Amino acid sequence: MRRRILGLAIAVVTVAGTAGCGSSSGGTSGSLPSGSGKATEVKVGIVPIGDVAPLYLGRKKGFFSSRGIDLKMESAQGGAAIIPGVVSGQFQFGFSNTTSLMIAQTKGVPVTSVANGSATTGDTEADVSGVAVKKSSPVKSAKDLAGKTVAVNTLQNIGDTTVREAVRKDGGDPSKVEFVELAFDQMPAALDGGQVDAAWMAEPALTIAKSQGARVVTSPFAETDPKLTLATYFTSTRLTKENPDLVKKFAEAMTESLTYASAHPDEARQILTTYTKIDGEVLKNLTLPSWPAEYDMASLEKLASLGEQDGLFGDKKPDLEALFP
């Protein structure tokens, strides 16, 4: 399986010319002051789930401040909502699932990934996301989701794509799954109250639902690919042109954060309490994702193929080499 290593000196300027044509008029927020020694405020759009723990941990450990970056995080419901914020300059960087980034690129949105985000554990019994149903539900496995209502945080993203694949592999008809949009933190209550038949949840929502009696019928990330790259940190191609030094420093700090979180899972778990509302029991039981410092390109190629199969990209195909340099 081919992998591409994220070098610390990412060639973002070259990528900018191929991933999109962002405007470069005027100044860009996030410029590093020359010789002032003053930290630059950098806003990152995130989804408040377990996957982004390395970002918060890296800020705490000083990996960003040591590079002159004053990191600020702002929450959104999903990557599809964060992408416009990055392109408009509301955020300098964002965290997004990889399918949403592929869709954006095929629509001509000028974005490019700069650092890895998270990956599946590869364990179909204990992954960072899963489709849960009520204990009394007749749904026993993925194929039974056909004809059922399944909540996802945003439509047309890595959630519904991988759920369809899990249903397909289990012998069900993925076209008969009805997906509805719901924020992760609202899913446990919606499932318990019967508003949906099933919910595809990321941590910590998944463990919260399980603590309320829900059971997991499939782990679609691990079912799709045991090394699936789930999400990355990205920026606009405009910023890569106007401030490649800032992009390079952010990528370096993020890569260091991923490596540290992987080596210190207890610290990564504890940092979740600073940006999610979870109690001690949930914290102890939730599953952390894998945080490799590399993209797994073979898994991204598979995800792109599934997106094409589901008709997510229209007439275009995502340029993975440009989007995930």
- Average pLDDT (217-233) is 97
pLDDT at position 196 is 98
Return the half-sphere exposure (C-beta side, CA atoms, 13 A cut-off) of residue 244.
Answer: 11
Cis check: omega of the bond before 244, within 30 degrees of 0: no
pLDDT at position 280 is 87
Task: Give Cα 98 to chain centroid, integer Å.
Answer: 7
Tens digits of residue pLDDT in 27-56 = 334 444 434 468 999 999 998 999 999 999
Higher confidence at residue 9 or residue 159? 159
- Average pLDDT (115-121) is 98
pLDDT of 264 > 90? The answer is yes
Closest CA to 206 of 50, 47, 45: 50
pLDDT at position 21 is 30
pLDDT of 15 > 50? The answer is no
Higher confidence at residue 174 or residue 29? 174
- Residue 224's CB is within 10 A of a number of other CB atoms, namely 22
**What percent of the chain lies above the pLDDT cut of 90?**
82
pLDDT of 215 > 80? The answer is yes
pLDDT at position 37 is 66
- Average pLDDT (238-263) is 98
pLDDT of 77 > 90? The answer is no
**Mean pLDDT estimate for the chain:** 89
| Domains detected in the chain | 4-120+228-323 (3.40.190.10), 129-224 (3.40.190.10)
Residues 185-218 as b/e (b if ≥16 CB within 10 A, e otherwise) read: bebbebbeeeebbbbbbbbbbbbbbbeeebebbb
Indicate the pLDDT class of residue 236, thresholds 50, 70 and 90.
very high
pLDDT at position 89 is 94
Indicate the pLDDT class of residue 278, thresholds 50, 70 and 90.
confident
**What percent of the chain lies above the pLDDT cut of 70?**
89
Indicate the pLDDT class of residue 57, thresholds 50, 70 and 90.
very high
